[in-house]
A and B are shown apart, each in its own frame.
Chain A
Amino acid sequence: MIEVLNLTKKYGNNVGINNISFKITQGEIVGLLGPNGAGKSTMMNLLTGYISKTSGKIMINGQNLTDNLYEIRFKIGYLPEQTPLYEELRVDEYLNFVYSFKKTSLSRQKHLEDICNRTGITDIRKRLIRNLSKGYKQRVGLAQALMGNPEILMLDEPTIGLDPLQIIEIRNMIKKLSCTVILSSHILSEVQEICERVIVINEGSIIADNNISQLQADDQTGLQIRVMGDREEVLQQLSALDGVLEIECVGEIEPGSLDYTLHCDRDVRKEIFNRLAEITSPALMIKPIDLTLEQVFIKLTKTK
């Protein structure tokens, strides 16, 4: 389990991470979301002990990261944003180096074979890393992170720069992993596809921490309603309601009624229902518009 308590990282007077706390349980796949410069990579670097914190605590499986840095690093596999590869080495030479460097206790030959199979690089083991495509380089980087079968895997933008087919392959590979995964990305569809839960960071602070469907459900500010009644009156009455920012008639979907979309700054479903009842224009349907993760993300990062 990863437990982060009041974590702060300052660079001089600038705050990179501002008093962040969260918990990640074993086996969870968590997405770390945020716009560029939000603090995702700083967070990753703090969690791996690559950079030191200014204050706060990082506990991994009950152990303090600062006090047990090298012991804990055995349990962590890390793929930074720029894949750390020695381009002059062959894939086999590189993986053998990583195997020894991480002091892996598993059988060398079997473990390397297993990792190469899992990441699909068995056929390129003898090739120079310099000559590999970006997709294969990323796979080698992932193989590096998987060395020693870590309990926690941290992946910083693992599909950046890949073509769509390679992205699908890498995503499928990640989904098959059985360890705790923290995936940093600003590609929301990727997070939506791979992760169960997202932590949204903006300007160094957490602005949302929930599972994706809950995040979408929590947002009741976009509504679709179906009303029987005079179009002009409905528009006039509902736009006058406190909390309604915008209303638009989208047309007749069900005979005898009109559909409207509303953008509100809070949950106004009760008020809408009551007002429509007052003007005897029955509401046949009031439902939140399911926002995409993109829309949720934009709202969160803009409003907070």
Chain B
Amino acid sequence: MGAVYRKDLLLFFTSPIGYIFIGAFLFIMNLYFYLGNVERGVSDLSGLFSVMQIVIMFLVPLLTMRSFSEEYRQKTDQLLFTGPIPVWQVVLAKFLAVMSVIVIALLITLIWVVIILKYGILNTPSVIGMYIALFFAVTAFIAMGIFTSCLTSSQIIAAILSFTLFFGIFILDSASASLNTFWVKAVISRLSLFSRFDVFRRGLFSLGDLLYYLLFTSTFLLLTIHEIARKND
């Protein structure tokens, strides 16, 4: 499993994808941090984290689109799936490789924390909670992205599928607030990924919401394993 993880991580940085992801993410987020916090002299990072979640959501397909699509296109899946490791380990290794790139990007954002610590008032528990929540929310996006990638040998189609899925969830979430039918609103709110993040943004720590992210992630990883097994059947 370690070999696949290292190979995938290496491939992110032997191609421009890893650099583009980190560069685009940091450009957008640093701009937002400067305009929203530095320029206005605001110490509260909760708005920044909300935006960060959405930015990551839209950038994740850049990383996940190649996970399996490229393996299928180059026929390297025949190497991976005739090797001495089971499919679930390959899926997990790919998931961890994408996660690692995002963690690198997130680690760089710690510089904001240092800046706020030095020049403002940092709400430490809230920031820690938001980092944890963001981490778990990202795992859900990655799992969905990897799943769409195992459906096709075209990276572009995989990326479009991911965007559609993410955007659909996002729209559904945003629209739910203005819905009149109570039970529909309740169902969407229970299934939502974004409203759960808002709990952490408000400085609350909810184990149940973290478990929901984990369940969401596990479900899509299992669907990926199942789909690959179905393809090789």
Chain A residues with CB under 8 Å of chain B are 45, 48-52, 70-71, 73-74, 76, 78, 80, 82-89, 93, 97-98, 100-103, 144
Contact = CB atoms under 8 A, between A and B. Distances in A.
Contact of B85 (A86, A101, A144): A101
A78 B77 CA distance: 12
Interface stretch (B8-16, B27-35, B173-181): B8-16
A45 B81 CA distance: 10
The range of chain B's interface size is 20 to 34
Given A86-B11, A97-B3, A103 B84 contact: yes
B230 to A, nearest CB: 10
Interface in B80-102: 80-86
A105 to B, nearest CB: 12
Contact of A88 (B6, B11, B81): B11
Contacts of B74: 84-87
A80 B14 CA distance: 25
A50 B82 contact: yes
Nearest to B93: A101
21 contacts: A45-B78, A48-B82, A52-B232, A70-B85, A70-B86, A73-B83, A76-B82, A84-B74, A84-B75, A85-B74, A86-B7, A86-B76, A88-B11, A89-B10, A97-B3, A97-B7, A97-B10, A100-B2, A101-B7, A101-B85, A102-B84
Contact of B78 (A50, A100, A103): A50
B233 interface: yes
B86 A80 contact: no
B111 interface: no
Contacts of A97: 3, 6-7, 10
A80 B83 CA distance: 13
B15 A88 contact: yes
A81 B75 CA distance: 9
Contact of A85 (B76, B81, B83): B76
Contacts of B82: 48-50, 73, 76, 78
Contacts of A71: 84
A112 B200 CA distance: 51
Nearest to B232: A51
B4 interface: yes
B104 interface: no
A167 B174 CA distance: 61
A83 B74 CA distance: 8
Given A70-B84, A86-B74, A102-B83, 10 more contacts: A48-B82, A49-B82, A73-B83, A74-B84, A80-B75, A84-B77, A85-B76, A86-B7, A97-B7, A144-B79
Contacts of B10: 89, 93, 97
A189 B31 CA distance: 66
Contacts of B4: 101
Contacts of A101: 3-4, 7, 79-80, 83, 85
Residue from A52, A84, A100 with most neighbouring chain B CB atoms (10 Å) = A84
A74 B85 CA distance: 10
Residue from B10, B76, B78, B232 with most neighbouring chain A CB atoms (10 Å) = B78
B78 A78 contact: yes
Interface in B14-50: 14-15
A98 B79 contact: yes
Contacts of A84: 74-79
Contacts of A51: 232-233
Contacts of A87: 74
A73 B232 contact: no
Contacts of B86: 70
A284 B146 CA distance: 75
B68 to A, nearest CB: 14
Nearest to A71: B84
A80 B80 CA distance: 12
